[in-house]
Structure 1
Amino acid sequence: MSAPERIPPRSVTSAELLAEGELTVRGRIRDASNAALLCTVAYAGREASCVYKPVAGERPLWDFPDGTLAGREVAAYEVSEVTGWGLVPPTVLRDGPYGEGMCQLWIEATPDAELLALVDEEEPGPGWKAIGFAEVGQGRTALLVHADDERLRRLAVLDAVINNADRKGGHLLPTPDGRLYGIDHGVTFNAENKLRTLLWGWAGEPLPPESVGVLKGLRDALGEGGGLALRLAALITPAEVDATRARVEALLASGRHPEPNGEWPAIPWPPV
């Protein structure tokens, strides 16, 4: 009689690990403006580092009076997943040592990846897109540029959809395997236009066909009864969900990357 076939254990996804694993706080990330804790999370034989941001440690924001930073961080991940681009690290809303909060997989970035630069020129060189001129001291200015990189362009589209008010250089995490992640999405999804970003290099240019296809998929997922719409409803306000739909429709109608409207500072401060 033959031995019964052994079924290998199912691998645990990063989202399952974050949602179900045991959180152990290792320390505090001190340069964060709100409480951000470096933790390890362990579940079903898998362990990883993560960032846990409890709602109890959030500072109120006058221009984001509704919802929570944690909820918006998770909402950004949900939108990113529907695009298929995987631009936001796995992120969940869960209970933790200091109450409910956002838990996000820690990403080890490549320190020498060149995505932003200051150049002493009037125009960007090949492979770069202009952001604007910046003061560099002693009455001098330099041109701030970002790479003409497909990964950044996808992130610029995602930011336009989620209305990211704080896309800084330090929120860009390129990895050794060639991927690019964006982090710190706590000030997103406002019903008013608050897009502030360093990724203005494509402003006014036609959207790539790939982005148009992704936006059409988002429109379907955000429709009444759509899976994404239902998930977002548990994380942000109805007005913010409606505004997200409207931004997707506006991007599809124009077929172009958005431009600064002059009603809100276009670049976050500090930019890095």
Structure 2
Amino acid sequence: MGEDHGVRSRTRDERTDDLGTGALLEVLARGELTVQGRIREASNAVLLCTATHEGVSVDCVYKPVKGERPLWDFPDGNLARRERAAFLVSEATGWGLIPATVLRDGPYGEGMVQHWIETAEAEEPDDSDGPGDSDGSGEGGDPGGRLLALVEGEEAGQGWKPVALAEVGEGRTALLVHADDPRLRRLAVLDAVINNGDRKGGHLLAAPDGRLYGIDHGVSFHTEDKLRTLLWGWAGESLTDEARAVLASLTLLLADGAPLATRLAELITPVELDAVRGRVADLLRTGEHPRPSGDWPSIPWPPV
């Protein structure tokens, strides 16, 4: 369903490290796009590009609408708009969890263009400090350790949150866990607001500066509950005070006529925008992270 461009092999361009989000958006929106190659592991067309504007070049990914595969539960040709909408909501939270994203014309027509994030190398696991991989398939890229892991037994261990039991072959099971990390917790709240239907492990990018980003939000903003994620570890737990404050702020920003609502109305339908407002209101009312609904698979497949 989604794209997995978590394998990063390009050299960092230190000239763009000090660009703020506004400057990045300017280059992405107005720069000349030069296609460098295609990420073939993706199910939709994802092109690796360079955007150049006024002497500044930025690595980015370009997903043309023409390269989107039709989905049975989403309208054709608007996944790129949902990616842009997700970025706008992320920016409104102040958490900056999604790379700079624009909607623009490109070599193959309209599409989403997003800043390419270089990822940090994951440290080798230390079994004395956290769970070990039961089959060597733990994932993650956090500078201080992994974000996801498979562990033997039924206990997540200190610093980890349990998600679900997973089959690992030969009749064996292991517990899928994710780090009890405040960055992941913020992302879990954002996913609940935008109703992200595809939060895979490969869509978590930890940058060398310690920031965490989520990518691939084309299957978001559905009116039905389609939250599907690997970040269920906080399900049913109370929201943090920070999250409550952010949600209260979003309530104002999503009101009719407010700037965020006006910009989202250009990207998603009125019914979908109302659904965003409803999800924010429900989170504030319950004061808890959502639980799986039971009406929709709660874990994306494949999970990585």
TM-score, normalisation: structure 2: 0.85
Structure 1 contact 67–237 (Cα < 8 Å) conserved: no
Aligned counterpart, 2:207: 175
Structure 2 residue runs without a partner (length 5+): 1-18, 123-140
CA displacement at 1:131 relative to structure 2: 0.3
Letter in 2 for 1:134: A
CA displacement at 1:65 relative to structure 2: 2.1
Q: 2:245 aligns with which of 213, 225, 238?
A: 213
Distance across 2 between alignment mates of 1:39 and 1:67 = 21
1:96 aligns with 2:106: yes
1:162-188 deviations in whole A, cap 9, x for unaligned? 000000000000011100000000000
1:2-38 deviations in whole A, cap 9, x for unaligned? xxxxxxxx98700001000000001111011101000
What is the DSSP-based 3-state SS (H/G/I as helix, E as strand, rest coil) of the residue aligned with 1:52?
strand
What is the DSSP-based 3-state SS (H/G/I as helix, E as strand, rest coil) of the residue aligned with 2:40?
coil
Aligned counterpart, 1:189: 221
Structure 2 contact 70–76 (Cα < 8 Å) conserved: no
Q: 1:32 aligns with which of 8, 26, 42?
A: 42
Q: 1:16 aligns with which of 2, 10, 26?
A: 26
CA displacement at 1:44 relative to structure 2: 1.4
Q: 1:225 aligns with which of 257, 277, 281?
A: 257
Q: 1:108 aligns with which of 107, 113, 118?
A: 118
Aligned counterpart, 2:9: none
Distance across 1 between alignment mates of 2:37 and 2:76 = 29
1:55 aligns with 2:65: yes
Letter in 2 for 1:192: E
Letter in 2 for 1:72: R
Aligned counterpart, 1:65: 75
What is the DSSP-based 3-state SS (H/G/I as helix, E as strand, rest coil) of the residue aligned with 2:81?
helix
Distance across 2 between alignment mates of 1:66 and 1:243 = 20
1:204 aligns with 2:236: yes
Structure 2 contact 232–291 (Cα < 8 Å) conserved: yes
1:250 aligns with 2:260: no
Aligned counterpart, 2:270: 238
1:126 aligns with 2:158: yes
1:159 aligns with 2:191: yes
Letter in 2 for 1:14: L
CA displacement at 1:45 relative to structure 2: 1.7
Letter in 2 for 1:209: D
What is the DSSP-based 3-state SS (H/G/I as helix, E as strand, rest coil) of the residue aligned with 2:191?
helix
Give the total of aligned pairs.
263
- Tell me which stretches of 4 or more aligned residues in structure 1 moved more than 3 Å: none
Distance across 2 between alignment mates of 1:90 and 1:229 = 19
Letter in 2 for 1:53: K
CA displacement at 1:210 relative to structure 2: 0.1
Aligned counterpart, 1:3: none
CA displacement at 1:111 relative to structure 2: 3.2
Percent of residue pairs identical: 68
Structure 1 contact 66–237 (Cα < 8 Å) conserved: no
Larger Cα-atom Rg: 1
Distance across 2 between alignment mates of 1:220 and 1:66 = 31
Structure 2 contact 189–289 (Cα < 8 Å) conserved: yes
What is the DSSP-based 3-state SS (H/G/I as helix, E as strand, rest coil) of the residue aligned with 1:230?
helix
Letter in 1 for 2:294: G
Distance across 1 between alignment mates of 2:84 and 2:120 = 24
1:109-154 deviations in whole A, cap 9, x for unaligned? 1131300000002111000000010000000000000000000000
Distance across 2 between alignment mates of 1:154 and 1:48 = 27
Q: Indicate how the Cα distance of structure 1 residues 117 and 31 shifts in structure 2: closer, same or farther if over 3 A, else same.
A: same
CA displacement at 1:67 relative to structure 2: 5.8
Letter in 2 for 1:238: P
Distance across 1 between alignment mates of 2:40 and 2:147 = 25
